[in-house]
Amino acid sequence: MNKKTKLKIGDFSKMMQVTVKTLRHYEQRGLLLPDEVDEWTGYRYYSIAQMQQLNTIRGLQRQGFTLEEIKELLEDGAQMPSIDQLTQKIEETEKQLQLLMERRSQLLKWMESHKQIKTMEKFSIQSLPEIIVASHREIIPDYSALGMLCVNKIGPEMQRLGCKCPPPGYCFTIEHQQEHRSENIDIEYCEQVEEMGVDSEIIQFKRLPAVSKALCMKHIGPYERFYESYAKAFSYMEKQGYKMAGHPRTSYLDGVWNQEDPEQWLSVIQIPIE
């Protein structure tokens, strides 16, 4: 009579190219219990048959089945999913694939937008098309409060209202006070949306007319240093014979929502000119 081969957990781990930590996790989840546990030493032993069982588990994982789903299959004595289970997994995979393709498309557009900004001259003259925006006006304590206002208040409300923003995304602020303030700033946040919505207490929708000509300048750094870029922009305007012809906009590309270091925040100042 052939003696049954027993493999220590370490040997089983090396042969099957899986960590001991993973084997213990499978054991805790009830997926792959050791064939034998020595009651005196606590050593775990695995059988040859469990090699194929492990291959089945790993194969199902690669096809997107969760450990819970795999456990149910094994408990039912099945080595392969049923046609219905495979059909359901295919449908889930197709949905995930669609989401990934949409994400890829958005990322490509975003990357192209960033390339354009990175290669943009220090000053450029651009036209700003007519757009529909979701707008929120509020007096904020200081510039540093703007990022969290967007993240905690404006963003959630726009999501609740079902706002759809055309890629790659365009948001900006307009300051309404008559003079500079370092605190209690009267600021209006606008973000481009695809269509007019129903106003709420937080968000109002409006159509902004086109700006035929605007001076655009990159600003890299925290919002408290916008004055540095404005000084350069107006100096350039004076030399070129331009005059301001409307409220300046500050468009935000990188900020607290995706970049922890304020020194890396990227904004574009847009000044209507004539």
Closest CA to 137 of 203, 216, 60, 59: 203
pLDDT value at position 205?
92
pLDDT of residue 118: 54
Cis amide bond preceding 168, omega within 30: yes
Identify the pLDDT of residue 142: 81
User: DSSP per residue over 163-211, as a string?
Assistant: ----TT--EEEEE--SS--SSSEEEEEEEEESS-----SS-EEEEEPPE
The tens-digit pLDDT sequence of the chain (274 residues) is: 557 778 888 888 888 888 889 899 988 888 888 888 888 888 888 888 888 888 888 888 888 888 888 888 887 776 678 788 888 888 888 888 988 888 888 777 667 655 655 544 577 888 888 888 889 988 888 877 877 888 888 889 888 888 888 887 787 877 887 666 667 888 888 888 889 888 999 999 989 888 888 888 888 888 778 888 888 888 888 888 999 888 888 887 777 778 778 888 888 888 898 8
Characterize the bridge pairing of strands 185-193 and 131-140: antiparallel
The Cα–Cα gap between 188 and 171 comes to: 11
Contacts of 195 (CB under 8 A, 6+ apart): 132, 164
Question: 3-class SS at 32?
Answer: coil
Q: Does domain 120-272 have CATH number 1.25.40.10?
A: no
Q: Given this model, what pLDDT does residue 248 score?
A: 84
7-81: CATH number = 1.10.1660.10
Phi, then psi, of 151 in degrees rounded to 5: -70, -45
